[in-house]
Chains A and B, each alone.
Chain A
């Protein structure tokens, strides 16, 4: 092999390493944190390890119910609340959501990885599994639930025909809304609903829509408590809507 060829190969590797380091998708080098059972977390706490819970749901949900002592930092709030992460980089951070699994791409998890936290976990089954296991929770400002009916996906069109002035509010993240949404729905993420609800029209029927129907009840209750009288939710959320559109059960 000539010196010239060696030089080409050397430069090729340098360029390749450069490309891998700087052009690969952000965070692709980071492994998602392992999932941990509630029982295992409690064992760590019993061993007096420094465990910090981080609730990645919206502030409304986190203040409504959370694992005692949790930090409330929603996935979407990583930028503004990153400073709330503990100083101790060896602390064990346990991220949790509600019924649905926390996505590994949740921004606050990636922020914690960037800041160099070594021990990150995602609570398996989230708050639901925690409660199911019988462990305590706390409410700081609980939103009293207000009874109200839901609209099944199969009944949505007839309901919209009846309530012609109805406004559909998609509570999911802008990215989820962009990927698919019901025609006519406006995006008002749950994470900022406590700030944006005042922009909603007071005199129109509202239909709140979430991903799977598990978060819209709280949002509907919140809006009713705030004075919106006619608030309904889409039963089963977008998942049920898509299933129904594919010819599944109404």
Chain B
């Protein structure tokens, strides 16, 4: 090594002596060098006589330039040849302005102080690659980023094999503007995740490229439909996985390949980067779920089918019920109006009547809490469900971002769970008062129970007959069948949405009970059940209790606790008769609600209804068009 150095040193000395002699004889100045290539070249090439500076340079991409085009500071040949002035590094940016400007942000410059010539070491003979730009890029990068680790397999491997579609280093990392991300800064990590996920998407969502290369664009669509994808897409990539978080490394291989990061044995490492304390079976979670493809997972598929059927069946029945009910009531009112009857609104006789108490303070507080927690859940959850709708980002930003929205979602979920458990306790108290088991069956199917009985079936049939003018409206007791459905649906809903919600909240802990793919199932149940609950409440429940023409626009009894005796007699005649027969009616009579109670009931009730209708519009907009 040293001997070679000495050899080249002697050569340099000889060249220097020759140059000094020529420089002494030659007139001072390098005017010729700045002229045409042959003139300028000849002066410089007298000393810089290597083939590289002659034929090599002439054939290079810069061959039309003179030496002084780049080496601009060499203006005094004598001083240059005597070594009095040392040439400064060439400023490539004087011609390649855009690249130089971009390179100021490039990681190679920021972190390692790279200059152009560090990568373009063959600058005097540089020319367009015969093998195309992508291959040249891979070859150049792999001078430092070793082939075996970065470019031998996966995308770059395909580039080297001649696939023009495959991604070269520069397709993902950029050229001359490879971004620098500081791993110690959260904002940089998020920016990196967002950037690389976008880069992956640019190819993997391209249908034409997918067809040419036999891969599926569903990979992107399914990621977008996962929790990771939704939160990232709504603009909060800080705490969810992007593509490169799981697809680690550069040798991206099919998941059956043992070397692939996606191989089941290797996936734990990827999951561990974010999730701690999970069972090995956690890795069976599918980050690219396709619930409507039975080949991927039968359980997932049938869960989705069941949920769709549940939604379809529930809405088909209750929307039909609602439409028919509205039609019948509205046509009755129209008919009465046409016949000249004056609508009973604040009929004087009712003013004299006492009102009765229908809901105690406890129930009213529970309902207000239920409304608040339910709206919080809808307004924090649905922006994630419909992340790509125009209103989603606005709504999530109102909460202060996805993380805070998630926090509110969980708080509201706990409130709802508390209400549910309390309701369960009250139900048990109703069935077994003072731990008395005798008579519980009678209480369960009795008139004060919210549990359905045979009469409810008869009422449903009777109601449909009434809708079509085939009979009288059924006489109801304390609870109608649709109120019982509302109540019991909460039990199903809380089991489904609450159970799945807790699984999604603590996926690692649940991996000790269930395999990871159950998280996919939980996601389907949570999402579909949320739609069912929200739309059912905002359409069916709102109509049945508030928008039915004789109650429109608001029934306040759940907020005031009071119920007009006249209304009781008309709407629940069996209960009225029962109370009369039992002599309990007088005990239930109360003063009407006070000023503040009425104001709260009106304002809170109407605000809730309007918010519910607004959310219904937004949800349908998103569901139908996004």
Contact = CB atoms under 8 A, between A and B. Distances in A.
A202 B1 contact: yes
B248 A249 contact: yes
Given A145-B112, A152-B149, A155-B149, 4 more contacts: A145-B113, A147-B118, A202-B1, A227-B5
A148 interface: yes
Nearest to A129: B182
B276 interface: no
Interface of A: 64-65, 99, 125, 128, 131-132, 134, 137, 139, 142, 144-145, 147-152, 155, 202-203, 214, 217-218, 227-229, 235, 247-249
B143 interface: yes
Interface stretch (B22-30, B103-111, B424-432): B103-111
Contact of A202 (B2, B143, B182): B2
A150 B147 CA distance: 10
Contacts of B109: 131
B115 interface: yes
B89 interface: yes
A65 B118 CA distance: 15
A14 to B, nearest CB: 46
Interface of B: 1-2, 5, 89, 104-105, 109-115, 117-119, 121, 143-149, 180, 182, 248-249, 269
Given A139-B113, A152-B149, A145 B118 contact: yes
A139 B117 CA distance: 15
Nearest to B261: A249
Interface of A is mostly: loop
Contacts of B5: 227
Contacts of B105: 132
B110 A128 contact: yes
Given A99-B111, A217-B112, A148 B180 contact: no
Nearest to B121: A147
18 contacts: A99-B111, A144-B117, A145-B112, A145-B113, A145-B118, A147-B144, A149-B143, A149-B147, A150-B145, A155-B149, A202-B2, A217-B144, A227-B2, A227-B5, A235-B149, A247-B269, A249-B248, A249-B269
A64 B113 contact: yes
Contact of A147 (B89, B104, B143, B249): B143
Contacts of A142: 89, 113, 115
B93 to A, nearest CB: 13
Contacts of A150: 144-146
| Pairs A-B, 5 closest by C-beta atoms | A147-B143, A145-B118, A149-B146, A65-B113, A227-B1
A247 B118 CA distance: 35
A218 to B, nearest CB: 7
A150 B145 CA distance: 7
Contact of B111 (A128, A139, A144, A152): A128
A148 B113 contact: no
B106 to A, nearest CB: 10
B352 to A, nearest CB: 76
Given A142-B89, A147-B143, A249 B249 contact: yes
Contacts of B111: 99, 128, 214
A83 B448 CA distance: 94
A51 B267 CA distance: 51
Contacts of B146: 149-152
A200 B144 CA distance: 23
A128 B113 contact: no
Nearest to B269: A249
